[in-house]
Amino acid sequence: YSLVNDPSDPEHVATLAMNGGYIHDVYVENNIAYCSHGFGGQRIYDMTPVTTAASFPTTNTPVELSVIEGYPFEGYNHSSWRMGNYLIMADETHGKPLNVIDISDYSDPDPVSTLQLNLDGVANPTSSSGPIAHNPFVLGNWVYISYYHDGVVIYDLTDPANPVVAGYY
């Protein structure tokens, strides 16, 4: 949908079949879509061919920039949020940490750290129990993440390779 002409009445632009299949959640910034494909991992698409089509609905397809699969502690890729050259990914799976991925080069995404909640003593990312990260939200260098059953945690990612828990509720 396009919000350009009238945000209160979005215009249908296209219905797309994406390479990764089902998309559970998407974060879009500057025509770049960061798509969480559930068990299909994370994919990044340039939506410019779709959004700049001469007519709507368009048959143009997005350009796949990156496929992020096989990353540490991969689970059900639920949602993500961009922070500069980094992508914070939440896999909605018991005991799996959040992943911090360097996306400065879309063709070579690089996992740099994980954010592991350990409020109840469970920090084993291969466990079938433990916290379940849900939706990350980034503001500046702060990552706010909701957890099923475990509240909200704020991480300081001033140094993305060395995240620090700043607070939790």
Q: Which residues pair with 67 in a beta bridge?
A: 43
For 142-162, letters b (16+ CB in 10 Å) and e give ebbbebeebeebbbebeebee
The whole-model pTM stands at 0.87
| Integer Cα distance of 73 and 13 in angstroms | 36
| Integer Cα distance of 58 and 49 in angstroms | 9
Burial of 105 (0-12, 13-18, 19+ CB in 10 A): exposed
pLDDT of residue 124: 44
Q: Name, in order, each residue with C-beta under 8 angstroms of 115's C-beta and a sequence gap of 6 or more.
A: 88, 97, 98, 99, 100, 133, 143, 145, 153, 155, 163
Of the candidate ranges 15-24, 33-42, 63-72, the one whose mean pLDDT is the lowest: 15-24
pLDDT tens digits, residue range 94-151? 888 899 999 999 999 999 999 887 655 444 444 556 788 889 999 999 999 998 877 8
What mean pLDDT, rounded, does the chain reach?
87
